[in-house]
Structures are given as structure tokens and as C-alpha cells.
Structure 1
Amino acid sequence: MKIDLTGKTALVTGSTLGIGYAIAKGLAEAGAEVIVNGRKQEAVDKAVTGLQKEVPGARLRGVATDVGSAEGCEALVKAVPQVDILINNVGIYGPQDFFDTPDDVWQRFFDVNVMSGVRLSRAYADAMAKRGWGRIVFLSSESALNIPADMIHYGFTKTSNLSISRGLAKRLAGTGVTVNAVLPGPTLSDGMADMFKDEVEKTGKSLEECAAEFVMQNRPSSVIQRAATT
């Protein structure tokens, strides 16, 4: 099946690496003009260059801003006043014991993983509804339902993504704008590579092997019994 998004503009937050980059590539292949976003200009430029090589003829723009703050979201909306497709992908994660997780970490996870999507959806959804077409997707996680004991501060943000996407879908029902959440499991992204870097060096095992062991130990109900790919 060929999805044709010619004439549509898509914004993917946190799209310089990993799942976000893969989403940006898929949207570009479908013909959309894609806005690549990341915190650092160098990373954004590198991602745009990489996508141009992988998808010849792709229409791409890069906007460097930290959407983990109200000011960053405002700057992004100013640079890109209108989109047809909003992918709220940006997110941070990392294990930390509940009793060792201070308020500022909870707040940072909430600002990046939750409020970025709230602010951008609020900025773009009304115009989508007035045009009669739009797509908003939140990148939640299976951790939204299977809360990891070592990342409670992360799991709660992904549960929030489910609540917001479901409520916003009801709010926009009948307008032509759909709102959904997707729930990836452990995925072989750059973030996972960083998380397992020490273990890979210590054991001599590959990233794939370490990730598969993690899945079997912590997600034993996994059907694929390994980490997914972006």
C-alpha cells in the first residue's frame, strides 16, 4: 500500500535520531514536506543531510529548538506556523530508582515527554480542525501500561500520553482530525545504545544480545522476544 501525503506538511519532534528519524524518513517517502526537529543545530543539519541522501527529492526543513520548554515550543510554532501532521515523538528516558529521583528530574521528564505534545497540539490542532483534516500522533510506550519499577518517572509520562491522546481524540471527534498514540516496546535506538553502552563494553556482547536479554528479563511476555528496530 502506498500512502500519498503529497501536499501535506509533517512535523516530527525529536527527529534527528532513532524512532523520530525513522518516522521522518517514512513521511518523506510518502511525499510529505517534513520538518526535522532537535535541540542542536548541528544534529538537525546532519539529520536533514542524511534524509536527503536516503530519500532523493524529499522536501525537508530543519528547526533547532528545545521543545521541552514553553519558549522552545513557541519558537518552533513561530518558525512553522501550520502543519497537517504532528508527530509528538520527542522523549527522554533512563533508569533511576524512585527514592533517588528528585523533583527536578520528574519535572524535566514531564516537560519533555508530556508538555511538549500538549503545547504543540494546542498550537496546531484548531487550525487542522478548521481545514477539516489533520493527524496527531503521540509516541507513548508499552511502559505506559507495564510501568517499569526502575523508571517510574518515565512510565507515568507515557501513561499521560495515553490520557491526552484519548481525550483529545474525543475533543476533536467529527472534525476530520484524528489523534492516536502508539506504544513501542524496547527499541534498538541511539538511546538504547547509550543505556547499554557499559554492559556491551563489560560483557563483550553485542547491543542486540544485551537488548534481547533485557527484554526476556523485564518483558517476558514479549512475543518477538527481542528489541524492535526503529
Structure 2
Amino acid sequence: MDFQSWRHVFKLDPNKRLTDEALQALIHSGTDAFLIGGTDGVDAENTFALYARVRDTGIPVALEISQPSQIIHGFDHYFVPTVLNAGTPEWVIGHHARAFERYGHVFDSRLVTAQGYLVLNPDAKVAKVTESRCDLSLEEAVSYAEVGHHLFRLPSLYIEYSGRFGDVDVLKEIRLALPDAHLFYGGGIDGEETARLMGAYADTVVVGNIIYEDLVGALATVQALR
């Protein structure tokens, strides 16, 4: 799957309620893909239940693997986050090694992509779980991204501010430093304006929480990125 062609992605949380009407609106919105994933309360059962609702829509469906127990077959693509600024090696390589030990022999490696996450909102659940060092200076944030791209040679980088809108200057400077990197951005995208602001520097903008708070605002983000 060529995720590099994705401009807009809706991120769906298996642990959050989504009505059939809302889901139909998302399906017909023109988004490029659905990304299924979440930080807490996510397991194989609710992940599969959500996947079953979107798998036959004609829209690519990817799984963000946050725990080995969450892995199920059938997705078009699998993203494996490695948190570059995590405070524990478990979120850099530990969980990943266990996932491959358990499932590596049954997966097509062409469907699996490592994503270097830079978690920058200290109040986000993902920051607390991964014990991420979020108080990075602008220069430090860029250097972490450069390590992920140049040294680790990760095929994509995800600038994550989950729960709030991020610092545009951080994304801008990472883009300037890494013009060839594929950048995902997620966090605080709540309508046209925020989507355009981050879309000026990110290749792929991920829209998540606003789906469950303001569906109209979420839908508006699609056309803002066209």
C-alpha cells in the first residue's frame, strides 16, 4: 500500500463509540484512509469489531499496533510506532520485538511499516504511557526527527500532539531539515483552519478526537487538505 499518497486520514479509536450514521459520513467524506488505533482500552476484540465495520468500504484500512495482543489479520497495512523520545526502551523496541516473536512469521513484511513517533504533548495519554520526554527545545525536536530519518532510516515520522494543537514552528523546522521525509501530523485538528496550518508542512494529516466531539468539523478537514 502506498501510504505516501495519503493526504488525509481519519483515526478511529476502538475504545470510543461511533454511531453508524457518523461512520457513514466518514466513509463518504473523501478521506484517503482509516487508521485504527488507540492508547488505552484497546484489545483484539474491539479492534476487530471496528475493523469489520470499515473493511469493505473501498477505503484503505490500516492498524496502528500499540500492543502485541491487538494484532489481527486482514488489514491493508500495519504501522508499528517506535517512540523516539520515549523514556523507556519498551516503547522504542521492547513491544516490537515481542510482536515479531509472536507474529513475525505470519506477516507479509511489505504490509508493515515502522513509524518514528515524536510525542510532544506531556498531557497526552500516549506521553504518560511511554514516559516520553516532551520538554524538547526546537533544536532537540528536530534532532530526534533527524535521527529517525537519517540514522534509523524510518520510512515515516509521526509528529504527535495527541489531545491538543501542536507548535507549527516545530513541524515547519522538521520539514525544512528533512524535505524528503514523509511526515505524519496528529493532534488538535478540529476544522479547516488547523488542517490547513499543519497541512502546509505535513504530508499526511491525521484527524482523530474531533470525530467524537464535532463530526461536522471533522468532515470539514477533508476538503481543507485537497
| TM-score, normalised relative to structure 1 | 0.36
Higher relative contact order (CA 8 A, sep 6+): 2
User: TM-score when scaled to structure 2?
Assistant: 0.37
Q: Which has the larger radius of gyration?
A: 1
Higher helix fraction: Structure 1 or Structure 2? 1
